[in-house]
Amino acid sequence: MSKQSGEERIRIILADDHAVVRAGIRQFLEMDGDIHVVAEADDGEQAKAIVEQHMPDVAVLDIQMPKATGIEVTRHVRARRWPVGILVLTAYEEDPYVSAVLRAGANGYVLKTADPEEIVQAVRDVHQGKSVLDPAIISKVMAHLSSPARAVSISALTDREMEVLTLAAKGYTNKAIAVQLSISDRTVQGHFARIFEKMQASSRTEAVMRAVSLGLIPPDIAQAE
């Protein structure tokens, strides 16, 4: 999803049911000049519509919105396989919300308490194909994924699948993983499909966090994202 020209800005849509909050987020997102908010929505159904209309690089979504939640919007986008990065920006840090967002297929989950610079960087990272998780909730996610209630039968990953997952944890995009391992983008996508199936995960972030919780990947690697 990265741009071919460094002069082109990252196109995003912003969905939040509080106009004042949207205005503040828009202001600091556009300050550096490389991010452009092409449309805004104040409810989930409108968010679905403007994503389809504008096909932005990144959709920045709140969770709790009228008519449809950010989680439902994420599922809607993923079901249609639209090439849109999804960053959930919310005040909710409780486990059920985090788990639901990751399983829906969001690329990132950042709290509104994060510094503006961190939120801007999260947008850039999602645009580059990276997974982003607010440091404040990483430990919660790891605890949730490794709890007895969440115990699942994980099939063993191959050496190549572990290489792919480890590079993903370090923040490498699919294209960068392909270059690093001298394989095609399509092959990387195939590896991720098998990784998700084996680890019963719906996103790169969830797969990485589950690998950390199982001791397959050192925590400091995943947190470096």
In a domain? residue 15:
yes
pLDDT mean for each 10 residues of the chain (225 residues): 57 95 93 92 96 97 92 93 94 78 87 92 92 75 52 69 89 89 92 87 80 72 51
**In angstroms, rounded to a whole number, what is the distance separating the alpha carbons of residues 168 and 221?**
10
Strand partners, 85: 58
**In angstroms, rounded to a whole number, what is the distance separating the alpha carbons of residues 161 and 140?**
25
- Report pLDDT for 57: 97
**Residues 78 and 169 both lie in one domain:** no
- Report pLDDT for 6: 44
Residue 196's CATH number? 1.10.10.10
In a domain? residue 2:
no
- Report pLDDT for 117: 93
Total domain count, the chain: 2
**Residues 36 and 87 both lie in one domain:** yes
Say what the pTM is. Answer: 0.66
- Report pLDDT for 27: 93
Query: What is Dmax (Cα atoms) for the chain?
Result: 49
**In angstroms, rounded to a whole number, what is the distance separating the alpha carbons of residues 72 and 53?**
18
Residues 6+ apart with CB under 8 A from 221: 166, 169, 170
The residue segments making up the domain with residue 43 are 10-133
- Report pLDDT for 199: 82
In a domain? residue 34:
yes
**Residues 108 and 185 both lie in one domain:** no
- Report pLDDT for 150: 47
Given 102, 133, 164, which residue is the final one in a domain?
A: 133
In the numeric block, which tokens belong to residue 173?
């995009």
